[in-house]
Structure 1
Amino acid sequence: VTTRLVQLDVVVTDKQGHAVSDLKEGDFTLLENGKAQKIATFSLEHPFEKTRAPGAPPAALPPDVYTNRPGITAPAGPLTILLLDALNTPQADQMYSRKKMLDYLETQLQPNQGTAILGLGSSLRLLQDFTSDPQLLRAAVQQYNGGKSRLTTEPGEKFEITQASQSGMAGMAARRLQEFQEEQIRAQTDVRVETTLSALRAIARTAAGYPGRKVLVWVSAGFPISLDASQSISGISQSRYYGLEIQRTTALLADAQVAIYPVDARGLVGTTLSDASQHGLVNPGANGLNNDVLDSQASMRQLADETGGRAFFNRNDIDHAVANAAAQGATFYQLGFYPEQSAWDGKFHKLSVKILRPGLEVRHRRGYFAADPLKWHDNNTKPEQDLANALRSPVPATQLTFAARVVPHKVGKESIVDIQFAVYTDSVAFEQEQLPTQPDVRHHTILNFVAIAVAPDGKVAVDESKTMETHFRAETLARVQLEGIPFHMKLQVPPGHYQLHMGVRDERTGWVGTVNAPLDVQ
C-alpha cells in the first residue's frame, strides 16, 4: 500500500507580470485529466521570508562525516540556477549573453537570492555553488569561457555547399558533400541533445533535495526538437524526434520542483528568408537558419511549458529576462492532492488549474506520469546507469539524502576504509507488506550502495557496490526515522590520495544521492 501526494507549484501573475499573493484555497480549481480534484494541501510560499537569520550559521558536521543533505551550506531563500550553455550556442552569442549575465549580477540580483552557476560544454561543470554573494557569482561568470562548440554549426557555415552547382560532375560532388554534411549534422545533433538532456537530468537530481520551487535559467540557443528528412536536400536523411526524451527529462525536473526558464542567447533573431545578393533567389542557408531557430525555440518552449516555466525569445535585454525568471521563484502557491489508487496506470496525467479571478496568468507543470516508480525506471533506465551518471556529475545528487562517516585505518599491513552510511528516511520509499509468516505489517525497501576511490590521475583504485533489502517492523522504522538507515561498507584501498565517490540508490523509485569526500590512506 503506497499513499502518494502529488504536489503542484503554481505561479500566478497579473497583466503587468507582478506576483499575485492574496488568493485563497477556494479561488483555485485543480483538475486532473479534466476532472476536479480535492485539494488536500494548500500554502502560499514566500522563500525570501525564510532566509537564515544573521549570525546563525548552519551547524558544522562532525569530523570525517560528509553529507549531501541540502541546508548545510546553501542559502535559505529562493534558489536560482544559471546554466550557461556553450554546447548549443554560437560563440558570438556566448560573448553577448555573458556580458548580459554580468549586467544582471551587477544591477538586478536580489539580496539573499541564492544562486548557483553551471556551464555546459562537452560536459556539465560547476562554476559556483549556491551563494548569495554577488562578487563570487560575477567572478564565476567572468572566468568562464565556453569557447566554440565542435557540435554546432555557426550561422552561414552551410551556405556555400547549398549554393553549389546542381549539374554535371560538380553537382554530383556537391551532392555527395551535402550528404556527408547532413550525416555529420545528424550525428552531432544526437550528441548535443543527449548531452544537454543528461545535464538537465543531473541538475534535477541535484536540486531535488532542496525544498520548494527552484528556477533554472537556461541561457542557450537550444537544440532542435526534431530533424526532418523532408528538409534534406539529399533526401536520404532519417528523421529524428527528440520529444519523448524531452518528456522524460521534464518529468524528472517537475518531480524535483524545478521550472525551466530558457532565455534565447541569440537575442533578437531576424526572420529574413531571401538574400539580395542572389538576385531574388531563396537562400537555402537563410531558410535553414530560420528552420533551426524555430525548431530550437520549439524545444525550449516544450521544456518550459512542461515544467511550469516560461521561455524568453527575440529580446536583446537578456539580463532583464533572467531577472524576470529569477523573480518567479519568489512567490508561488503550492497545491497538493491524492490521486485515486486506480489512477496509477503508467500514463501521463494532464494537470490544469483554474482561478476564479479573471485577468490572471497561471503557470505550473503540465502533468505527471502516474507510474509505479519501480516499473517506470526499469523500463527506461538501468539501475547501474542511474548511479553511474549521478557519480560522474560535478554536483551531488540529492534525490535521496544520507550522511557517511569515512575512517581509514590499518588492520595489520592492510589499509582499510570503513564507511558508515546513515540514509535519511524522508527520501526513501517504503512499501507496506504482509508477509505470510509474519503477523505484523512490515516496511520494505531495497537500497543500492556504491563506493569508488579515484586516484588523481583518474584511475579507479576501488569500485565496490552492495545491496541492502529491509523488512522493518514498526518500532524499527520509528528508530531509523530518527537515526537514519545504517549500512556499513569496508574497502581495502592501497595507500595514496583519492577522491571517494559515494552513492545510494532507492531501487523502488530510482532516486539517487551522491557525495564526494577527500580520502588519504596511509
Structure 2
Amino acid sequence: NGEKQRITEFEKHVLSLPSGKKEVPSEEMIKTQASPGRELMPRKFFLFFDFAFNNAIGLEKTKQAALHFIDSQLQPTDEVGVLSYSATKSLRLHEYLMTDHRKVRDIVQAFGMKEIAGRAEDFEAKYWSLLKEENPKDASSSGYVFDPDEQRKKELGFLRNQREEAKLQTYNFVRKMTDLAKALRYVPGHKSIIFFSSGVPYSVFSGIPAPEISPDQTSQDSLTWGMENTDQPERFESSHLSSRYEDMLKELSAANCAFYALDTQELSSTLTSVVQTRGAFTLQKMTSATGGKYFGNINNYRQHIEKIQDLTGCYYVLGYYVDDKWDGAYHKIKVEVTKPGCEVHAQKGYFNPKPFKEYNRLERMLHLVDLALSEEPLFQTPVRLPSEVFSYSSEGEADLCFISKMEAEKLREVAEGKLEVISIVFDKEGNIVKMHREEKTLKDPSEEDSYYYSFFSLPPGNYACRLVIRNLETGRVAVASSAAVIGNQRLTGIHLFPPLLLTPEKNAKYIRGNIPKPLVEKSPGFSLANFFHFDISQYSLHLEDFVLANTLVPALLRCSIVNMPNSEINLSSSLLEKSSGKTTPLTLIVLSEELKEDEKRFLVNIHIPELPAGEYALNFTATEKTSKSESVTTRPLKIR
C-alpha cells in the first residue's frame, strides 16, 4: 500500500540439478556444524489447459510442450496436478497434486481435438474488421463483389451472435477462474500454474479497439483502454466484464500462485487481425498480477519450458508482519531490489481474512474443505478433540464406528449457537468415500462432556476419518481425526477386533450421528451402548491416547467365530515398549462373556503396572483352546 515494510523472514530456494560436467576437486574446507534447517515444501505445478480460447494447432503444440515439461523438467519430489477449462465442461480438475508423473502424463496424452469449442479471437478480428468496413486481409476470407452492403450486414449479424456467445463464455471463464483462485488459497505452499491458452481477446473487455499499438505501449494497470472514444451500447457491459476481470486478478494475486502463460495463438492469424483482438494483453495481465511470466509463440516451447524451470527452481521467499484485521481488505504489494538490472516477479497483493458471516456459499465450502483436508488450516487453528475408530463385522459386512469426545471445556467457544456436524471418511488416496452432515444446537455446551458417534459400511481397506464441528454464525471449528484399517473377512476361524477402552464414568451423554439403515432396522432403538454391550450407568468411553501407570483399565473386546461351533476362547494381553522393544505381560481378568450369533463379546479389566512413561503398543491375543488358532489386535497407547 505504498508503505515500506521491514522484512523479518527470508528463504532462498535453489533447485539442484545434476550436472554432466566432471567435478573438479575443491580445496579442503574445515567442516563446521550447521544449524538445523526446516524442511522446505516441494515444488507444486498445475498444468492448465484452456480449450475455450485455443485452436487445433495450439492444442497440438500444448500437448507437446506439456509432455516435454513432464519428461525433461520434473524432479521426483515435484507435485503435479492437471486442470482444464472448456466451454462445454467448464473448469475441471483432472488430477490433484501428486508425484505419480506417469499418471499425469497419461492424462495429458489423452487430451484430443474434441475438447476445443469456440474461436473467440477469430470472431473478434472479423467483427471489428467489418465494423471498420475493411476488406479481409487474408485471401482465404471472402471479399465483397456483389452487393457488398447486404453481404456485410449478413456476416456482421452472424458474427455479432457469435461474439455474444464469446462474451458469455468469457464471463463464465472469469467467474470460474475467480473461484479457482479462492480455492488455491487453501493449497499450502507456492503454486506454479503453467497456462496453455491464446487468451481472452482484449477487445471483449475494451469495446471498439483504438489504433493498433504494440503490447509494450499498453498500460498494464487498466483494461478499460480503448473505451473512451466509443458510445456503443455494449460499453457498460464491457466495463462490467472488465471490472470482474480485475477482481479475478486480485484473487489470483492473493492465492500464492504464479501463472506462466504460453500463448497458443496461430502465427498466421496475427497477420489478419489488429493486436487488440488477440489474447496476449489479457495473458500478460494475468502473469503480471501473479508474479509469473508471459511467453509468446508456443512453437518455441522448449526455450520457454527451460525458462520456467529456472524461474520455479530458483526464487526467494520474503515475509513481514501484518496487522491481524478481519476486514477482507485487499493490500497491494510491490517488491523492489537495490541491485541494478534485475527484473522482479512477485505477487501483487493479498486479502485480509474476513468475518465468517460475510463468506459466500463458495467460500464457506472452501473453508470447510480446508478444515477437513488440512492438518494446518489456513485461517484458524481448530480445537482438537480426542477420537477413536473401531472396525467390526456385522452379518458378513466390514464396517467402521467413528467416535469423538465432545469435551465441554474445549467446545465452549465453538458450540454457542447453531452448529453443523460433518463426519467424513477418506480412503488411502484421500478420496471422500462417506460423508454425513447434520445441524445441531447444544443446549449448554459447557455443562458436560458428550460422545458423538457414527457408523459406516465400507469394504476392506485403509481409511482416515475426520469430524468437523463448525459454528454457522462465527465459523469457529473443532476437529477430530483418526485412522483405521478394515481387513478382509475370514471365512473360517476367529478374528479379534480392536479393543474399546472404558473408564469408570457414569451416565455420560451420547449423540447419535450416521447409522446405516440395516443397523436401525435390526435394532430400532439402536445405541452405542447396546451395540457394544456396556453399562452406561457404570462406564463411559476412554478416547484419550494415554493411561496412567498402576491403574486398572476396563476394555470391551469383540471376537468373531466363523464355522467353529462350541469353541472356547482364552484371552491374554501385553505391552510392548517402542523405545526398547521390551514386552511386559499384563494381568487380564474377564468380568463377563456373551455369545451372540457368530461373535463373542468380553468385558475385561487389565492392570497397567508401574512402567516408564512413554509410547507402547497394547496387544490382545485370542486363542481358541481346541484348534490353537490365534488372532491378535494392537492399538497404540501412551503411559504417563
Q: TM-score, normalised by structure 2?
A: 0.49
- Among 140, 147, 150, the alignment partner of 2:114 is 147
Q: 1:266: which partner in 2? A: 265
Q: Within the alignment, does 1:223 sit opposite 2:221 as a pair?
A: no
Q: How does 1:236-247 map to 2 (within 5 A)?
A: 237=234, 239-240=237-238, 241-247=240-246
Decide which moves more: 400-409 or 89-98. 400-409
CA contact (8 A) 2:333 2:348 kept: yes
Q: Distance in 2 between matches of 1:443 and 1:242?
A: 42
RMSD: 5.6
Letter in 2 for 1:272: L
Q: 1:83-162 residue pairs with structure 2 within 5 A?
A: 83-106=48-71, 108-112=72-76, 114-120=78-84, 121=86, 122=89, 123-127=91-95, 129-131=97-99, 133=101, 135-145=102-112, 147-153=114-120, 155=122, 159=126, 162=130
Per the alignment, residue 465 of structure 1 pairs with 437
Match of 1:21?
A: none
Q: 1:41 aligns with which of 6, 9, 17?
A: 9
Which residue, out of 292, 297, 304, partners 1:314?
297
Q: Which residue of 1 aligns with 2:580?
A: none
Q: CA deviation at 1:93?
A: 0.7
* Aligned with residue 161 of structure 2, among 167, 180, 202: 180
Other-structure match for 2:277: 292
1:191 aligns with 2:179: no
CA contact (8 A) 1:253 1:307 kept: yes
Deviation at 1:180, TM superposition (A): 2.7
Asked if 1 retains the 8 angstrom alpha-carbon contact of 2:399 and 2:459, the reply is no
Matched letter for residue 310 of structure 1: K
> Which one scores higher on RCO, CA 8 angstroms, separation ≥ 6?
1
Alpha-carbon distance in 2 for matches of 1:358, 1:189: 40
- Amino acid of the residue matched to residue 44 of structure 1? K
Identity of aligned residues (%): 16
Secondary structure class of the residue paired with 2:334: strand
- Compute the displacement of 1:218 (Å): 1.3
Tell me the equivalent position of 1:23.
Answer: none
Seen in structure 2, the aligned counterparts of structure 1 residues 198 and 360 have a Cα distance that, compared at 3 Å, is: same
Q: CA deviation at 1:228?
A: 4.1
- Matched to 2:342, the amino acid is L
Gapped runs of 5+ residues in structure 2? 18-39, 131-142, 210-226, 427-431, 489-515, 519-640
Per-residue deviation, 1:200: 4.8
2:583 alignment partner in structure 1: none
Quote the offset at 1:174 in angstroms.
Answer: 4.7
| AA matched with 2:4 | A
Alpha carbons 2:174, 2:248 under 8 Å: kept: no
Deviation digits for residues 302-328 of structure 1, max 9, x if unmatched?
322222222222352123323322332
In 2: Cα distance, 1:319 partner to 1:505 partner: 49
| Counterpart code for 1:100 | A
Quote the residue 2:351 is aligned against: 369
Residue 97 of structure 1: how far off its partner (Å): 1.7
Q: What letter corresponds to residue 437 of structure 2 in structure 1?
A: S
For the residues of structure 2 that align with 1:187 and 1:172, how far apart are their CA atoms? 23
Shift of 1:118: 0.7
Alpha-carbon contact 1:179-1:234 (below 8 Å) kept:
no
State the shift of 1:416 in Å: 7.9
Structure label with greater radius of gyration: 2
Residues 62-77 of structure 1 aligned to structure 2 (within 5 Å): 77=42
Indicate if the aligned counterparts of 2:197 and 2:263 stay in contact, CA closer than 8 A.
yes
- The 3 A distance-change label for structure 1 pair 46 and 501 is same
Over 3 Å counting, the alpha-carbon distance change for 1:501 and 1:469 in structure 2 is same
Q: Is the 8 A contact 2:82 2:96 kept in 1?
A: yes
Structure 1 CA distance, aligned partners of 2:460 and 2:302? 47
What count of residue pairs does the alignment treat as equivalent? 401
1:40, 1:187 → 2: CA distance? 45
Match of 1:427 in 2: none
CA distance in 2, matches of 1:453, 1:176: 54
Alpha-carbon contact 1:215-1:326 (below 8 Å) kept: no
Matched residues in 2 for 1:340 and 1:271: separation? 48
How much does 1:264 deviate? 1.4
Aligned counterparts of 2:95 and 2:70: Cα–Cα separation in 1: 15
Asked if structure 2 preserves the Cα contact closer than 8 Å seen for 1:84 and 1:220, the reply is yes
Kept in 2: contact 1:84–1:117 (CA 8 A): no
**Cα gap change, 1:358/1:263 in structure 2, threshold over 3 Å: closer, same or farther?**
same
Indicate the residue corresponding to 1:330 in structure 2: 313
Q: Which has the higher helix share?
A: 1
**Aligned partner of residue 34 in structure 1, secondary structure:** coil
Which of 306, 330, 335 does residue 353 from structure 1 map onto?
335
